[in-house]
Structure 1
């Protein structure tokens, strides 16, 4: 099934592709690969999930933040490729979680993004992945995620 049809079946509408906040591009294509810059947990109204996992936020809030990152990555994929149907495989995801030094549930947080990718792309959405803790992230966001995609 097409990823675009699957998205519609799931009742998911993508946000507009987020604009860069600094001197970088949202994506680059090379060698049949789409390299996606990191995106934050931006909501449809433009606000972000701000805070520290293990202090201000729990795993459920972090998971929601990672899902929002996934939606923003999907929006950038569509903007870069014209259609999500051009995605062959999500190869790699790097998830960064702003947490207390004791917080150790980064994998459960980043599942918010990769669960979404599997919902949309099936097994082709299950990437190699890193989920790491950070002391800070830009503008206080709770989660940032970047990805590498094989283009069909």
Structure 2
């Protein structure tokens, strides 16, 4: 059985973390749309360097390790008993091995004070939707799109990925 753990992101690994995150989300978009996609924030990336860097600065960033090797990453923000899962990704080369779920369980254990977790994912990320709902126990509670923009995200006012559709998920802890 593989050992999955989390370690705080090191400053000298930030750029690699960003590139790894972009690779994981680009993989999902390419699987869904092929190379004809127009769902990218910048230069062929689903999530911009700036967006990921902002999440790292504002949250707690971790590397997901599997048997001591880098397998992905996560960023969470905690405010009292509310937790936001800003990013969670596993390298597309090792999907479907339980690594993401094991990492999520580690996050839950690290922050037992959190009563409600929240995250979002694009409408086309079927793997993510399955993961959050069927594996991790989240519920879809809102669908942001051009007719219902996210009131807390000024970027959704622009013509971008968010207006195409983002699911918001919540998980209430017992």
Which TM-score band (shorter chain)? 0.3 to 0.5
Flag the structure with higher strand content.
2
**TM-score under structure 2 length normalisation:** 0.36
TM-score, scaled to structure 1: 0.39
Q: Determine which structure has more spread, i.e. the larger CA radius of gyration.
A: 2
